[in-house]
Amino acid sequence: APGRTAGTIGDRPRVEQSGVQPTEQSGQFVHPGSPPEGMTPAPPVPLTAPGRQEQLLRTGEALLRAMRPLQWTKNGLVFAALIFDQKFTDAGAIGIAIVAALCFCLVSSASYLINDVRDIERDQRHPRKRFRPIATGEVTVQQALIAAGVLSLAALVLGSLIRLEFTLVLIGYLL
């Protein structure tokens, strides 16, 4: 109906979700801090660039693919030691095996990322490898190297919780 305002809550005007509220004089919706009549308001500044969240999700998904999680099953070999040592019911030994397998997943993924950066030009010409995330540019070289560094550091920190010798094995894997 003409002349209706947004309504009231108690004795004060209801504030719309956008922060826009009717003025008492005209009933027109005015954003708080709006410029005086006749002046053009500045465009609103978005909190995040449009599509930024979607881009981050796409990059994260591509980075995960570049880390080759399907290869992580090979690291399950660590659990064979529990069976051969007959410690498959020992909670402490199981915990160590889980951390060790995680460390191998981290260093193997770091190695895949570094290898893909090193071979980027060759992979771009390869019939199958040209679709890998680093070769296509879905993951930048910088992103891959930062991720490889973070993964390596995390593996070495976790590995040091097991034993120094295990950490040295992880360093050897990275070299």
Listed in order, strand segments (DSSP E) in the chain are 8-9, 12-13, 21-22, 29-30
Confidence bin at 102 (pLDDT 50/70/90)? very high
**Span 41-70, average pLDDT:** 79
> Is pTM beyond 0.75 here?
no
Cα separation, 67 vs 115, whole angstroms: 11
Answer for the pair 112, 68: CB distance below 8 angstroms, yes or no.
yes
